[in-house]
Amino acid sequence: MPHPAWKDDLVRIVGPRGYLDHPEDLRLYEYDGGVDKARPESVVFPRSSEEVSAIARTATRHGVPVVGRGAGTGLSGGAIPSQGGIMVGFSRMNRILEIDLANERAVVEPGVVNLDLSMAVDAAGYFYAPDPSSQRACTIGGNVAENAGGPHTLAYGVTTNHVFALEAVLPDGTIVQTGAWWPDTPGYDLTGLLTGSEGTMALVTKAVVRLMRKPETVKTMLAIYDTEDDCATTVSEITARAITPAALEMLDGTMLKMVEAAVHAGYPLDAAGVLLIELEGLKEAVEEQAEQVRLACLQCRAREVREAKSEAERQLLWKGRKNAFGAIGRVSPFFYVHDGVVPRTKIAPTLRLIGGVSSNSGLTIGNIFHAGDGHMHPIILFDARRAGDIDKAQKAGFDILEYCIQAGGSITGEHGIGMEKVHLMSRQYAAESLDMMRRIKELFDPARLFNPGKLLPGGRGCAEIRQPPLVPGTPVY
């Protein structure tokens, strides 16, 4: 197979050990955590911002697409090179450059693994708050690109609330700095614009992020229910009592059985649903809130409310939640993790809708999600080897997301649009809003080489864009 025309330039930039184009190597980079697949023509592993800049210049000169890749845990096909080209892997740019505890900031390269940052400051009593369930593997660069959330973002906010400044490389190779170490910088919020832009405008090469002090006390509770409705209703009952738990997660009966069989976290096998609730803060306040939470759960007919009695018990409860996806893999060879948002007051009807979609499609759907934020994660089990199953799974996902939009929510809470949901953007946004986004992208990337085919639907005037949003006039920002 002939080598790509840009190979010599790239090898000069990153060295022969930082460059891959053998088909057997490239195969490893055609997946992420989602369902789509496409192979890059070259993969490069830069070690510095200057090397990333030189790669961008080379790509632009050759008119070839560029796709960034962190750990490849994305669930919407963001890191899939759907139009081939050059993949920039950030695994060698994985240094924590500075930890400034007095100012509660860290400066990191994009390939730093999320959990490694918290571990680096743990002994000093600090942590990095955004904690995707994939935090043992996913990178800060990927988190910034996806504006990732996680169980604890209910109280602390998502990635954008913890990123103060970025260094990023534009398609023409320019290295730009946005923001500063203090919040609310003058001028346009370019840090906010790039956070969540899914690698379509710039490649992030450094980030200044917030470190937070670990709370004095953490209490983790498990509320167990005989009906999904009661479990779901408790979510708004807790927040109505003016309590914002650090985390408020729900697992339905289907998920409980799968997770318990694999993880042995002590979850009940006969329940219709559980809430995993975590409270953090000063000891007295947490005790008071825990009592209020217990009363809210009992008022909504919880049959039992347990409290983790030790750090080991607490870790075990979280182990079940954080290892759930692995547990599903033991039961089903293929599964489709969906991601939609509804107001937390509409979780119960959404679960009923999902139950109906499951019966109609004949596919098992489990639910494990960030209930406090209304971030639904229906997990659709299917078997790609069975004719028609993929189509059924995709249709089931589409029906659920349509319902989310109608319920006043969104087609994604945290996994991003990627290539998976690009066709749904016109269901969420009016044509004018999409056009504005496209014009902003083109300011950064006039040749449309950075992560093409992601986030924004096709060209100007395509059918997708002319489609009206599902709920005309829905305020979407």
Residues forming contacts to ligand FAD in the complex (CB under 6 A) are: 32-33, 67-75, 78-79, 90, 110, 132-134, 138-139, 141-143, 145-146, 148-150, 198-199, 203-204, 325, 414-415, 451
CB of 90 to ligand FAD, least distance (A): 5
Of 204 and 341, the one with the shorter C-beta distance to ligand FAD is 204
CB of 78 to ligand FAD, least distance (A): 3
Q: Are the C-beta atoms of 38 and 96 separated by less than 8 Å?
A: no
The rounded distance, in Å, linking the Cα atoms of 166 and 177 is 6
Beta strands in 55-193 (DSSP E): 66-69, 86-89, 96-100, 105-108, 126-127, 163-169, 175-179
Tokens for 402, please give them.
Answer: 């349509």
CB of 32 to ligand FAD, least distance (A): 5
CB of 285 to ligand FAD, least distance (A): 26
Of 138 and 223, the one with the shorter C-beta distance to ligand FAD is 138
Of 29 and 289, the one with the shorter C-beta distance to ligand FAD is 29
CB of 58 to ligand FAD, least distance (A): 17
- Candidates 336, 334, 322; CA nearest to 263 is 322
CB of 142 to ligand FAD, least distance (A): 2
CB of 362 to ligand FAD, least distance (A): 26
The rounded distance, in Å, linking the Cα atoms of 65 and 10 is 14
Own/partner pairs, 239-245, CB within 8 angstroms, 24+ separation: 239/344, 239/372, 241/292, 241/293, 241/296, 243/279, 243/289, 243/292, 243/293, 243/296, 244/154, 244/155, 244/372, 245/154, 245/155, 245/277, 245/278, 245/279, 245/289, 245/293, 245/372
Tokens for 294, please give them.
Answer: 């217990």
- Candidates 56, 78, 28, 74; CA nearest to 452 is 78
Please enumerate in sequence order all residues whose Cβ is within 8 A of that of 259, keeping only pairs 6 or more positions apart, or say none. Answer: 251, 265, 267, 320, 321, 323, 324, 327, 368
Helix (H) or strand (E) holding 203: strand 203-210
CB of 359 to ligand FAD, least distance (A): 27
The DSSP line for 412-449 is -SSS--TTTSGGGHHHHS-HHHHHHHHHHHHHH-TT--
CB of 455 to ligand FAD, least distance (A): 8
DSSP structural state of residue 139: B
Say if residue 162 is exposed, middle or buried (CB neighbours under 10 Å; 0-12, 13-18, 19+): buried
CB of 118 to ligand FAD, least distance (A): 15
Of 88 and 271, the one with the shorter C-beta distance to ligand FAD is 88
Of 78 and 469, the one with the shorter C-beta distance to ligand FAD is 78
Of 321 and 346, the one with the shorter C-beta distance to ligand FAD is 321
Amino acid letter, 383: D
CB of 380 to ligand FAD, least distance (A): 15
Say if residue 293 is exposed, middle or buried (CB neighbours under 10 Å; 0-12, 13-18, 19+): buried
Of 114 and 289, the one with the shorter C-beta distance to ligand FAD is 114
The rounded distance, in Å, linking the Cα atoms of 69 and 142 is 7
The rounded distance, in Å, linking the Cα atoms of 197 and 307 is 40
Backbone φ and ψ for 204, nearest 5 degrees, come out as: -80, 130
Tokens for 176, please give them.
Answer: 């730009």
Of 199 and 215, the one with the shorter C-beta distance to ligand FAD is 199
The rounded distance, in Å, linking the Cα atoms of 264 and 282 is 31
Of 34 and 469, the one with the shorter C-beta distance to ligand FAD is 34
Q: Are the C-beta atoms of 433 and 472 separated by less than 8 Å?
A: no
Of 3 and 27, the one with the shorter C-beta distance to ligand FAD is 27
CB of 341 to ligand FAD, least distance (A): 12
Of 95 and 241, the one with the shorter C-beta distance to ligand FAD is 95
Of 202 and 296, the one with the shorter C-beta distance to ligand FAD is 202
